[in-house]
Every structure is written in structure tokens, then in C-alpha cells.
Amino acid sequence: MLHLLVEQDVNGESVLEAIQRLDDPNQLQYVLETEDLWGGSRRKGFDPNYGIELIVYKIPSAMSFSGWLAKIHETAEDELKDELGVIDQV
């Protein structure tokens, strides 16, 4: 099992940029996305974890990270083509 702990400021860095910095991105097993629903406006005296959304994406065990990305890209492209087809019929 691969454990990765990144302790640095990643403001402005995309997930893809962070992953590209890894020695072997295909060993990646999870992607954790965090979102501050309050936009960084933490108030003194409030629970610091309140208003934070965490999303964990698990890469299927039978796939490499690059294969998973290719599958996501293919699915998104197919969905976009379907939506454009509906728009063209209007």
C-alpha cells in the first residue's frame, strides 16, 4: 500500500500538476479533494472542521491511474457528444 503525505502549500496548483510531480503516478490509489465551503473565513471559537467537504476518489484496483484517467476522459467525451446531439435536435 502506498502512503503519501504532502505537507506544502498547494494554492493554485491543480490536481494534475500535483500528481505529475510524483515519481510514479500509476502507483496512486486515492485522490482526496478538500473544499472549504466557507471560503477560508474561519471564525474564532467555531469548530475548524465545520464547513469542510472531503471527497475521496478511489482508483479501481484493476486499473492504473493513467488507465483510470483515460476511462474518465472517454466517458466525459461520450456524455458531451450525447448532450450536443440533444442540443442539435432543438
pLDDT per residue as tens digits for the range 37-77: 766 555 556 666 667 788 888 888 888 888 888 888 899 99
- Whether the CA torsion 7, 10, 16, 18 is positive or negative: it is negative
Q: In percent, how much of the chain has pLDDT > 70?
A: 73
- Whether 36 shows a pLDDT value over 60: the answer reads yes
For 28, phi and psi rounded to 5 degrees? -65, 135
Instruction: Tell me if residue 33 falls in helix, strand or coil.
Output: strand
Measured CA to CA, the distance from residue 58 to residue 67 in angstroms comes to 13
Average pLDDT, the chain: 76
- Whether 2 shows a pLDDT value over 50: the answer reads no
Rg (CA), the chain: 18
